[in-house]
Amino acid sequence: MTNLALEGVPHTSIRLREKNIRPIHDQRHDEGGFDAVADDYDEVTEAVLAHDLLIFSTPIYWYGMSGHMKNYVDRWSQSLRDKRYSFKESLGQKQAYVITTGGDQPRLKGLPLIQQFQYVFSFVGMPFAGYIIGEGNKPGDVWSDLRAVEEAKIFNAWLKAKQ
């Protein structure tokens, strides 16, 4: 679904499942703050901060985001305190979209996931501009969801018009 939405649009794809992003070790209240972590988090964050429009694409896993996405978002607590980034200010200058697919009535049962993203984006001051929810269990199933396919095509046309 995300590939259809981005077809013919210059973009950078970051596949979190191909990155090594460690779970957060919560040190928000430690005197020394967060320890440096030897993983791909900083590389991903720098790539994210270099773009104006962000699409968070995740399958719906047990009515929430994937573990890879959750690890990444959890680590934002670390970036909020990292003096190398003006993290919150930078995210406030971007627009966020969510594209997700799942089975078991995803347009209804996927709404808590959309709301979770909305709360996360609100916390960091990033405008939440929209979402697409597709229905499908196995890879390729979503192509039978004509509504989601049409929404992705409309989003694609809008992105192309912005170029």
For residues 76-99, give the mean pLDDT: 92
Residue 94 has pLDDT above 90, yes or no: yes
Number of compact structural domains in the chain: 1
Q: Are 78 and 32 in contact (CB under 8 A)?
A: no
d(Cα 93, Cα 146) in Å, to the nearest integer?
Answer: 33
pTM of the model: 0.93
Contacts of 16 (CB under 8 A, 6+ apart): 44, 66, 68, 69, 71, 72
| Whether residue 154 has pLDDT greater than 90 | yes
Q: Say if CB 52 and CB 163 are below 8 A apart.
A: no
Cα 103 to Cα 94: distance, rounded to the nearest angstrom: 30
32 or 86, which is more confident?
A: 86
CATH, residue 122: 3.40.50.360
37 pLDDT exceeds 80? no
| Residue 58, pLDDT score | 97
Instruction: Kindly tell me if the per-residue pLDDT of 125 is higher than 70.
Output: yes
Domain hosting residue 32, numbered range: 2-162
* pLDDT score for 33: 64
Radius of gyration over every alpha carbon of the chain, rounded to an integer in angstroms: 16
25-34, 36-45, 65-74: which range is least confident on average?
25-34
Whether pLDDT at 64 is above 90: yes
Top pLDDT among 78 and 5 is at: 5
- pLDDT score of 133: 98
CA-CA distance, 23 to 41, in Å (whole number)? 10
Average pLDDT over residues 105-120: 97
